[in-house]
Amino acid sequence: MPETTSPKETVKAFLSALEAIDIDKALTYVAEDVVYQNVPLPPARGIAAFEKQMRMMQKYGSGFEVKVHHIAEDGPIVLTERTDVLESGPWRAGFWVCGTFEVRDGRIVLWRDYFDWATVIAASAKGGFRALVSTLSRRFKS
């Protein structure tokens, strides 16, 4: 596991690894008994279930960007307010996320994200529309 100085630094390094879509590196920041949840979906429990979800992101996504607006640490708990941007080919969607992380012994044991589903759906539709317009524009210019 890479050396970090605080739970906040662990979370920042973890999110940076995800941005690089370096799942192997991201896994070095995660505990064997990690719980990962996008509320209200069911949680992924354990590193194998977590890795499966991250590998799906790697397989189907072409980009992931994290814009941290605020980050706060209180003991082992780290709270983030951020905009996550997902990409898959020409499709791109950004949405607001609030995340709770718990770090124990330098590893993330809990990652729980909260977001507004209506915002995610709207961002996804907007991203799909932009991808369609971009694709059609290229076709008709050729």
What residues are labeled active site? 84, 113
Asked if 79 and 85 count as a contact pair (C-beta separation under 8 A), the reply is no
CA 53 vs CA 99, 113, 122, 126: distances in Å:
17, 14, 23, 24
Range 41-79 burial, b when 16+ CB lie within 10 A, else e: eebbeebeebbeebeeebeeeeebebeeeebebeebebe
